[in-house]
Amino acid sequence: MTQDAELGLRDRLARLSGVKLLRGTRLSTEIERLERQLERLREDKTDEEIWRSVELARHQDRPYTLDYVERILEDWFELHGDRGRFDDGAIVAGLGSLDGHTIAVVGHQSGRDAKERTHRTWGMAYPEGYRKATRVMELAARHGFPIVTLVDTQGAYPGVAAEQHGQAGAIARSQASMLRLAVPTIAVVIGQGGSGGAVALAVADRVLMQEHAIYSVITPEGCALILWRDAAQAKRAAAAFKPDAPHCLELGVIDGIVPEPEGGAHTDPDKAASLLHEAISAHLEELVGLAPDELLRTRRAKFRGMGVLAAV
């Protein structure tokens, strides 16, 4: 119950904070009141709870992109290949119908068994995967279809061939491309939002996280290995860099949190899918009425403003 209350509060706060241009004491008082309530709730946040999200985000039964696609979309048609080199199974892309309107969905995809996991390189994409994503998103934008990306990766694939094929450039260009899509875009982190491989698909008008998803610059183990020189310190590392959804919301990195069934998305994928559907539809409804120019301007301003600075 407390968690539901917190999610509701954060969602409202995020919406209110997004309308800074509207002046008026009523609004700022409301924001202050919500912030005070959040402050009280946040005191309970422990390192254990952060680690629980890390574990749930990686749970082997957690729904992947295609699990949501089959529950949310009708007439799904998957599109394959980067039109250059190969079809990267770690990213799926296609068109489908959401609430009666065509949209494009692009997302990371891992496998349920050893064979599929190998084929999909555990959801870690090659540059070809990002080029496929870019191709399909640009295709959707040409036809005015809104775009939903589902982010779920430990990171981009760190292999020799991936480097030779231009991993860094593909990630950079995917971000640049997403900043230019003149249609509504929504990114939802549905599991692990790991590093550049995640942000490559997450430069969207609305960036949401499922309640137990994580979004971070490096894996807890990677961070622990570098800063503590001991991968076993992963829990401490996670507590230090705070990859959980409430902290990402607090830092202004995401725009909202999508609730999950009690115990995590894997306990009830149908319920998780309907909650995700609800959130996507609600945000799309707010975005479809906006002029493309305004979408682009707001999206760019949001990402241009990321970070926290001090001055001497």
How many C-beta atoms surround the C-beta of residue 69 within 10 A? 21
Question: Does 172 participate in binding another protein (rule CB under 8 A)?
Answer: yes
| Alpha-carbon gap, residue 307 to 162, rounded angstroms | 29
> Contact with another protein (CB under 8 A): which of 56, 91, 162, 186?
162
Minimum distance, C-beta of residue 23 to another protein, in the bound complex (Å): 26
Question: Does 51 participate in binding another protein (rule CB under 8 A)?
Answer: no
- When the beta carbons of 33 and 180 are compared against another protein, the nearer one is 180
Name 72's Cβ contacts closer than 8 Å, sequence gap at least 6.
98, 273, 276, 277, 280
Question: Does 169 participate in binding another protein (rule CB under 8 A)?
Answer: yes
Minimum distance, C-beta of residue 244 to another protein, in the bound complex (Å): 10
Minimum distance, C-beta of residue 161 to another protein, in the bound complex (Å): 9
- Give 119: exposed, middle or buried? Use CB within 10 Å, 0-12, 13-18, 19+: middle
Minimum distance, C-beta of residue 210 to another protein, in the bound complex (Å): 16
The dihedral region occupied by 83, where left means phi > 0, alpha psi between -120 and 50, and beta the remainder, is: left
Question: Does 310 participate in binding another protein (rule CB under 8 A)?
Answer: yes
3-state secondary structure 190-254: EEEEEHHHHHCCCCCCEEEEECCCEEECCCHHHHHHHHHCCHHHHHHHHHHHCCEHHHHHHCCCC
Question: Does 164 participate in binding another protein (rule CB under 8 A)?
Answer: yes
Minimum distance, C-beta of residue 304 to another protein, in the bound complex (Å): 5
Output b/e per residue, 277-305; b: 16+ Cβ within 10 A.
bebbeebbeebeeeeeeebbeebeebeee
> Contact with another protein (CB under 8 A): which of 31, 139, 179, 290?
179
List the x/- string, 227-246, binding to another protein by CB under 8 A. Answer: xx--------x--xxxx---
Q: Which stretch binds another protein (CB under 8 A): 25-33, 82-90, 212-220, 270-278?
A: 212-220
User: Is the separation of the CB atoms in 139 and 183 below 8 Å?
Assistant: no
- Give 27: exposed, middle or buried? Use CB within 10 Å, 0-12, 13-18, 19+: middle
Question: Does 114 participate in binding another protein (rule CB under 8 A)?
Answer: no
AA identity, residue 277: H
> Contact with another protein (CB under 8 A): which of 105, 133, 171, 280?
171
Question: Does 175 participate in binding another protein (rule CB under 8 A)?
Answer: yes
Question: Does 223 participate in binding another protein (rule CB under 8 A)?
Answer: yes
Contacting residues toward another protein, per CB under 8 A: 156, 158-160, 162-169, 171-173, 175-176, 179-180, 195-196, 198-200, 203, 215-218, 222-223, 226-228, 237, 240-243, 247-248, 251, 253, 300, 303-312
